[in-house]
Amino acid sequence: MIAYLIRRLLLMIPTLFGIMLINFVIVQFAPGGPVEQTIAQLKGTATSATANITSAGGETIQLSNANSQYRGARGLDPRFIKEIERMYGFDKPAPERFWMMMKNYLSFDFGQSWFKGGSVINLILSKMPVSISLGIWTTLLVYLISVPLGVAKAVRDGTHFDVWTSISLIIGAAIPSFLFAILLVVVFAGGSYLDWFPLRGLVSANWQELSLWHKITDYLWHMVLPVTAMVIGSFAGLTMLTKNSFIDQINQQYVTTARAKGLTENRILYGHVFRNAMLIVIAGFPGSLIGILFTSSVLIEIIFSLDGLGLLGYEAVLNRDYPIVFGTLFIFTLFGMFTQLIGDITYMLVDPRIDFEARET
């Protein structure tokens, strides 16, 4: 067990390095980098504001007509372009920039945001509560719904209950979360019918003035619509996975033997089948959590004006804010690998017969 954990931890190093390297290389070929973004902003401002630009050394750089490798740079002095490149670190070769970035990331120094201002790590930490709230509540509700429903469908396989719930699951899975979110806003958030729930934010504006009980209820009140929108399309796959896993175990020989010994169906189902059938469900937990926490909430955060990590990453990609893009990628990848490791440990705790270390020898 210890040797397996050590190998997994050591394997994280080249995995993390490889993921960062691949994304760094891809970004180098992406059009519309931060230099071009800055040039576009300058081109859109008044002439008087951009006619003279003062460099870091205090020298005034006059704008002139000159060709450049950057789109939209025509009419800007080459020295001015070099100054912008230096400001963003693009005056250094790509390999040197990558090594400097990874060296800083080892100490969790993600630098400063280019367009939002402030420390990247502080920006990430400030957005974390929103994404964690959405992810934890959604994952919790998805498992609370999917596992019992999957077990019920397995026990009643082929019945009317199984057929109608399957139809409901298909319909729920076919509706994108953002469309269901819009429907919830129109119906329940003052769009056209009812005005029961707030439309934006994680808490109310006067949240700090509320008592502890009212703070909790206000927070939960704001979570109802976005979490409902995320849950509705997330539990179909897990429900069918649970059902198929239980059906597979119910048809095993040990179940037939247990029935022959006179054990009750509940004793067989929850005393023997449940532990074995839940292995595959537990194995998929890390992936489900990561998917819900960091990817599924982007459009939900936009629709409900929730300032979380999904919205932060989306805006960073649009603005080519590379410190935020690579900082969040580093943290998400690291978190994902540790979550996967925790899933493997849980897998072994549920079924001690599983030995990943023995499989690798």
Residue 182: is its pLDDT beyond 80? yes
The DSSP secondary-structure symbol of 59 reads P
Per-residue confidence band for 48, with pLDDT thresholds at 50, 70 and 90: very low
The two structure tokens encoding residue 138? 């959604």
Q: What is the pLDDT of residue 71?
A: 53
Residue 153: is its pLDDT beyond 70? yes
Cα angle 334, 340, 343 (rounded to 5 degrees) comes to 145
Residue 72: is its pLDDT beyond 70? no
Residue 49: is its pLDDT beyond 50? no
Q: What is the pLDDT of residue 113?
A: 83
Give CB contacts under 8 A, 24+ apart, made by 270-279.
273/246, 273/249, 274/151, 275/350, 275/351, 276/249, 276/252, 276/351, 277/242, 277/245, 277/246, 277/248, 277/249, 278/147, 278/245, 278/350, 279/245, 279/347, 279/350, 279/351, 279/354
The two structure tokens encoding residue 318? 């649009």
Number of C-beta neighbours around residue 336 at 10 A: 19
Average pLDDT, the chain: 76
Model confidence over 96-136: pLDDT tens digits? Answer: 888 888 888 888 888 888 777 778 888 888 888 888 888 88
The two structure tokens encoding residue 252? 């095993």
What does pTM read for this prediction? Answer: 0.70
Per-residue confidence band for 360, with pLDDT thresholds at 50, 70 and 90: low
Amino acid type, 248: D
Amino acid type, 277: A
Task: Sketch out the chain's domains with CATH numbers.
Answer: 35-99 (no CATH), 121-360 (1.10.3720.10)
Cβ-contact 2, 316 below 8 angstroms: no
103 against 264, higher pLDDT: 103
Model confidence over 211-222: pLDDT tens digits? Answer: 888 888 888 888
Residue 257: is its pLDDT beyond 60? yes
Per-residue confidence band for 55, with pLDDT thresholds at 50, 70 and 90: very low
Q: What is the pLDDT of residue 47?
A: 35
Q: What is the pLDDT of residue 107?
A: 84
Residue 45: is its pLDDT beyond 50? no
Number of C-beta neighbours around residue 47 at 10 A: 7
Q: What is the pLDDT of residue 232?
A: 80
Q: Is the dihedral of CA 299, 300, 301, 305 positive or negative?
A: positive
Mean pLDDT across 306-314: 79
CA distance 112 to 323: 7
The b/e string for 25-35 (b: 16+ C-beta within 10 A; e otherwise) is: eeeeeeeebbb
Cα angle 297, 303, 304 (rounded to 5 degrees) comes to 85
Q: What is the pLDDT of residue 350?
A: 64
Residue 324: is its pLDDT beyond 80? yes
| HSE (side-chain half, CA atoms, 13 Å) at 33 | 16
Residue 60: is its pLDDT beyond 80? no
Per-residue confidence band for 191, with pLDDT thresholds at 50, 70 and 90: low
Cβ-contact 337, 16 below 8 angstroms: yes
Q: What is the pLDDT of residue 157?
A: 84
Residue 248: is its pLDDT beyond 80? yes
The DSSP secondary-structure symbol of 189 reads B
Strand ranges inside the chain, DSSP E: 52-54, 60-62
